[in-house]
Amino acid sequence: MDRNLVYTISLVLVIIGALNWGLVGLFNFDLVAAIFGLSIFARVIYILVGVAAVLVAIYVFGSRKLTKQS
């Protein structure tokens, strides 16, 4: 799979996760739980968002390290 595609998908998932946390903080409303209930599907979404956040962090901080060395 193309590295840019993985980054783009990860970034979208991180944005979705951030918006969900914003809704939880502002309105005490969990959109993922509202859509999927407290099911295995909701857990999978939370796991995917977490993995995506790690990938985006690696990409961002890894690219900064590479550009500083150049």
pLDDT value of position 3: 81
pLDDT value of position 62: 84
Quote the CA–CA distance of 17 and 52 in Å, as a whole number.
10
pTM of the predicted structure, to 2 decimals? 0.78
pLDDT value of position 70: 47
Interval 15-29 mean pLDDT: 96
Q: Where are the domains of the chain?
A: 3-69
**SS3 sequence of the chain:** CCHHHHHHHHHHHHHHHHHHHHHHHHHCCCHHHHHHCCCHHHHHHHHHHHHHHHHHHHHHHHHHHHHHHC
Assess whether pLDDT exceeds 90 at residue 30: yes
Assess whether pLDDT exceeds 60 at residue 35: yes
Question: To the nearest 10°, the Cα dihedral for 61, 66, 68, 70?
Answer: -170
Quote the percentage of the chain above a pLDDT of 70.
Answer: 87
